[in-house]
Amino acid sequence: MEYVVALADEQQFTRAAAVCRVSQSGLSAAIRNLEDELGTPLFTRTTRRVDTTDAGLALLPFARATLAQAAAGRDAVVRATHSLSGRLYVGAEQCLGVVDVPPLLERFHRRYPLVDIHFTQAGSHDLVTQIHAGTLDVAFVATTEHLATVHSTELGRRPVVLLAPPGHPLASGSSVEWAALRDHEFIDFRESWGVRSLNEAACSELGASRRVRCTVDDIHTLLDLIHRGLGIALVPQHVAEKPEAAGLTTIRLPRETTPEWVVSAVTANHADASAARLLDLLDPPARTPQLLPGLLHAAR
């Protein structure tokens, strides 16, 4: 069921296998065995992506429910046999896609009800600054800048795409060259957001000078402004797949120069031991020992 959910979410065998920490051949064989057992394809494969069939979509909510029940069972056992208290300071950028922070905090609270959770939402660069200052124990960020002196692990990555409203001159094609972006009016996030610095670096390097007409601090506001024709935007692919983006045109950038938006979990060097327990709840749990051996030892 974990493989089914991962493949449905990632739409690619390579990424799904990485998420599940198994070989691509092992995941593929397991999916084929399940399809043989059920007597119907759950996914359609092409050279570019994997799509979920109607049968797969029918199975998906039960797969998610099975994983949730298993997690709840583990939480109940831990709650009955362990106690952890103190304060945990957590930060995250909005709508990271590869990790859903509110359900993660909910599960942590169920498992460790004595820990007092303090959560803040901000741009990735502000969060990294707070990690360095020691005011946050753990942060989920979308930047690779200034992470050399903190503990970090990559959780996932997505390509950047261009979003345009219908009728925009660039909306007629499925792909666009960087040079064609010159002098168009853009909507982008504040400078504290990781995707803003990623966009600025790519446009500067590839000679696509642009005018940022609107600056926002919220993804849904950005999508609303694009719908209203106030500009176009460079966004991580998962933002273009949100229901609020329906009706907008998604345009690919040249594959060899498309920047990748990277999400990581970062922790302070002297983070509270409960930070390791929070990251231990990430799927798959095998990530955590590679990320924080010292913290895990302290937590145990």
Q: What pLDDT, in 10s, does the model give residues 194-253?
A: 999 999 999 988 888 888 999 999 999 999 999 999 999 999 999 999 999 999 999 999
Instruction: Give residue 27's domain range.
Output: 2-74
Model confidence pTM above 0.85: no
Q: Are 267 and 145 part of one and the same domain?
A: yes
Residue where a domain stops, chosen among 74, 101, 121? 74
Q: Are 244 and 109 part of one and the same domain?
A: no
Q: Are 59 and 127 part of one and the same domain?
A: no
Predicted confidence at residue 255, as pLDDT, reads 85
Dig out the tokens for 18 from the structure.
């990485």
Instruction: Work out how many domains the chain is built from and give that number.
Output: 3
Res. 273 pLDDT band, cuts 50 70 90 = confident
* Residue 286: inside a domain: no
Across 38-56, average pLDDT: 89
Q: Are 104 and 37 part of one and the same domain?
A: no
* DSSP per residue, 195-255: HHHHHHHHHHHTT---EEEEEES-HHHHHHHHHTTS-BEEEEHHHHTSGGGTTSEEEBPPG
For residues 163 and 118, the answer to whether their CB atoms sit within 8 Å is no
Query: Percentage of the chain surpassing pLDDT 90?
Result: 52
3-state secondary structure of 187: strand
* Residue 287: inside a domain: no
Q: Are 273 and 150 part of one and the same domain?
A: yes
For residues 292 and 267, the answer to whether their CB atoms sit within 8 Å is yes
3-state secondary structure of 12: coil
Q: Are 163 and 221 part of one and the same domain?
A: yes
Q: Are 186 and 243 part of one and the same domain?
A: yes
Q: Are 169 and 141 part of one and the same domain?
A: no
CATH number at residue 91: 3.40.190.10
Q: Are 195 and 249 part of one and the same domain?
A: yes
Rounded Cα–Cα distance for residues 70 and 76 (Å): 10
